[in-house]
Structure 1
Amino acid sequence: MQLIKVGLCAFGMSGKVFHAPFLKEHPGFFMSAIVERSKEESKIQYPDAVIYHSVEEMIESADIELVVVNTPVQTHFDYVKMALEAGKNVIVEKPFTVNVSEAQELVNLAESKNLFLSVYQNRRFDRDYLQVQKVLDEGKLGNVREVEIRFDRFRTEPSTKEHKENPELNGSGSIHDLGSHLIDQATQLFGYPERLFADVFSMKGESFANDYFEILLYYKNDVRVRLKSSVFTKEDHYAYKIHGSKGSFLQERTDDQENELTAGAIPTYGKDWMKPLKDTDGILNYFNENLVSQRILTSTEPGNYMNYYQQIYEHIVFGYALPSLGDEVIQNMKIIEAALESSKKGKVLDLN
């Protein structure tokens, strides 16, 4: 098996949870280099990786062909550009960069150097999203008319992360964080909308970056997709509500990969590493082909973030399709920028 040498730009929560475990367990990748500015915590689990004390040093000196840029979003443009100019392929954390113009410059640079640039959209591999995708593909709901996708949390106290909480920093706030997931799922399922209206603000107060948003996407044939997130939600909602001409589907947000990985779970290669659910987590209520109403309690199959890295490997080795390529994610960023403008102006914006 061809071995891909990888460098990880940071060993914080993102590196420890979402990247390093999968790179270690996948036999096609070798964790060759890790950036830790002042510590050497990675030595315990990844003793074969060389520790560098800056991203610049790693990109310049490490024997790697793939760089994972998982630093704060405000640094993404500089580090991705640096890696591409050094001839490295790049995976960059969502939401890609802080604005569309930076993202487009990086996409153009990658193309000019015949390198790939993929945005880590791991929520495409959540069990709940995959179930929604399956139900829509089956067509049991008929013509979809109304959709709501939510990602709520109960975090009423500000975090200590300046790059996420400071409203003066471009790219801070919930709409760039959780919003990038919800917008990506909407565009994956329904395509690029024609218009939008948004309400974006901070429930914790003006001294903090936005932590609440509601985005209404307008599609052809009067289809409406509503995206919503709040940090003042103690009680769970259905994360997905889909209503069509033949029925409705309600799906809870039940993917637990992040929690399991944070607790120290080791993902396995080649098979699902998450256990099946013991309970149901969705409701499908529709009229079948005989116009008989059926109400079914559904249960999702396990999600697997390893599949993202498997697709990266297959792209490098076999030339298969690249997951969440940069040019595709730029569309999501255009929606983020338009949502902020819509909220500021208080009006519907045309996206075409």
Structure 2
Amino acid sequence: MTSTTLSVGLLGFGLAGSVFHAPLIQGEPRLRLAAIASSRVDDIRRAAPEAVAVSSPAAILDDPSIDLVVIATPNTSHAVLARAALLAGKHVVVDKPMATSAREADQLIELAHRQDRLLTVFHNRRWDGDFLTLRDCVDSGALGEIYQYEAHFDRFRPAIKAGWREKPLPGSGVLFDLGAHLIDQALTLFGMPHTVTADVGPQRRAAEVDDWFHLILNYGRMRAILHAGTVVCRPGPRFQIHGDAGSFLKSGMDGQEAALRAGRRPSGGDWGLDEPELYGRLYEADGGERVVETRPGDYPAFYRSVAAAILDGETLPVTAESARHVMAVLEACARSSAERRTVALP
């Protein structure tokens, strides 16, 4: 590819498109947000005046000047639109989850290979500052052999919110929403588990989809426990990880999403910084204890890596195959909960 800048077409301008994708694309010098398909024309004009607002995805898919299509639409349309974009010869970014089934994911991967196009998935929470810090603790050997990993994504939302995520549709519910994040982080650290045991379901009285889950991923001697609740007024630690050389505990939530929602853009030296009172603590087996400063969060790294993969041939940190593994675990967890049994993974 001879161009030094990629033209991007964004499909969807709801929460994912307007809060996450558009600002991060705008902040990457080698990407140009050229067009957005959405009915929210006024919102587009305010937030992305450089982009052309179009009424349908077809206008972007049929545009030969568009190099990269970003899909930030409801989960039910991910696979259909990704397939259409790949057939149109575009590189593709899909918001997580990749699809609503592992079978759909397999079909997209095969098509991307056949079309010789890049296909990746927006698993942005690999660049949460707390997760980057925890990963450093694991990789450095400071915790020794890991025996238990626990990650929570708890929120306080007792009222049902309007929108497709709360409707009984394929890919709706908290398991496919927040579970995709927690599973991707666990697989990034430890790879695929041997088995999963899951309890997934609704707790709020008016809930039509699951709003609570507790997942146990079995790695032999080690267990990864992933949990999300929707009626948690005072969350406990976000991460706990225990090994034979020590434990690491971290509370609080990475602040990048809140900053993006507030209209901040990823620029300046203070982007992604954590509050010092929320820094994690490392408890050593010999009785020592120390505060571990949180690494800066880095959501911009995702689109930086996408541009480098297309323009420079560099390796993507989020491969389509790794996103497909997340789909396989999501399906196994849903089956485990529905059938009240432990489910083995290949």
Whether the 8 Å contact between 2:186 and 2:224 is mirrored in structure 1 is yes
Whether the 8 Å contact between 2:250 and 2:278 is mirrored in structure 1 is no
Whether the 8 Å contact between 2:160 and 2:207 is mirrored in structure 1 is no
| 1:76 matched residue in structure 2 | 78
The two structures have a TM-score, normalised by structure 2, of 0.96
| 1:258 matched residue in structure 2 | 257
Distance 1:62 1:73 in 2: 26
Deviation sequence 1:250-294 (CA, Å, 0-9, x none): 01233101111111102128x66234533342110113xxxx421
| 1:176 matched residue in structure 2 | 176
Task: Pick the aligned partner of 1:306 from 279, 296, 300.
Answer: 300
| 1:64 matched residue in structure 2 | 66
Letter in 1 for 2:232: T
| 1:31 matched residue in structure 2 | 33
Task: Pick the aligned partner of 2:319 from 305, 325, 346.
Answer: 325
The residue correspondences of 1:202-351 to structure 2 (distance < 5 A) are 202-205=202-205, 207-220=207-220, 222-268=221-267, 273-275=271-273, 277-287=275-285, 292-351=286-345
The answer for unaligned runs of 5 or more in structure 1 is none
Letter in 1 for 2:222: V
Letter in 2 for 1:278: P
- Name whichever of 339-348 and 13-22 sits farther off: 13-22
Deviation sequence 1:186-239 (CA, Å, 0-9, x none): 00001100011000000124751101001101113x111110000011102111
Letter in 2 for 1:184: D
| 2:135 matched residue in structure 1 | 133
CA RMSD of aligned residues (A): 1.6
Distance 2:120 2:274 in 1: 29
Distance 1:189 1:80 in 2: 27
The two structures have a TM-score, normalised by structure 1, of 0.94
The residue correspondences of 1:107-122 to structure 2 (distance < 5 A) are 107-122=109-124
Superposed displacement of residue 155, structure 1: 0.7
Distance 1:129 1:297 in 2: 16
Distance 1:102 1:272 in 2: 40
The residue correspondences of 1:141-156 to structure 2 (distance < 5 A) are 141-156=143-158
Distance 2:200 2:124 in 1: 24
Task: Pick the aligned partner of 2:4 from 2, 5, 8.
Answer: 2
Distance 1:247 1:299 in 2: 17
Task: Pick the aligned partner of 2:20 from 18, 21, 29.
Answer: 18
Distance 1:38 1:233 in 2: 33
Whether the 8 Å contact between 1:198 and 1:216 is mirrored in structure 2 is yes
Distance 1:15 1:206 in 2: 28
Q: Secondary structure at the match of 2:92?
A: strand
Q: Secondary structure at the match of 1:149?
A: strand
Whether the 8 Å contact between 1:127 and 1:254 is mirrored in structure 2 is no
The answer for unaligned runs of 5 or more in structure 2 is none
Distance 1:202 1:275 in 2: 34
Superposed displacement of residue 62, structure 1: 6.0
For this pair of structures, how many residues does the alignment match? Answer: 344
Distance 2:102 2:242 in 1: 32
Whether the 8 Å contact between 2:67 and 2:91 is mirrored in structure 1 is yes
Distance 1:66 1:174 in 2: 29
